[in-house]
Amino acid sequence: MDPNITYQEMYRAMNDARDVGATHPSDIIEDVLLRRHYPIPTPEPYVDFTHYHGIARCHALSLVEWFKNGGYTPYQYSKSTMESYISSVLYHTEYLTMSDDYDY
């Protein structure tokens, strides 16, 4: 596995999900609590972004395993940068682990 390519593909998948309107469920709850939007806007037309999040999550888990087994960090990125982005991806895609109908 090339961690540089894996990291870039993970980053690209998260950006693709963002481009089609993906948000984390806690962002919607926060908007409701702070009354930023009333009523809650629904994206039209609905686009399923779980595909992009699934790709990003798979790459993130691969990188976690890579580092756990003593893999190196690409020279383009610091280890802390990679670890923080990986944890962000895992946080934003955690809902996939709660779904019975999605296998990644």
Query: Domain limits of the chain?
Result: 3-98
Contacts of 90 (CB under 8 A, 6+ apart): 57, 60, 61, 64
Question: In tens digits, what is the pLDDT along the chain, a chain of 104 residues?
Answer: 889 899 999 999 888 887 666 555 555 445 445 555 555 555 555 556 788 888 999 999 999 999 999 999 888 889 899 999 999 999 988 888 875 555 54
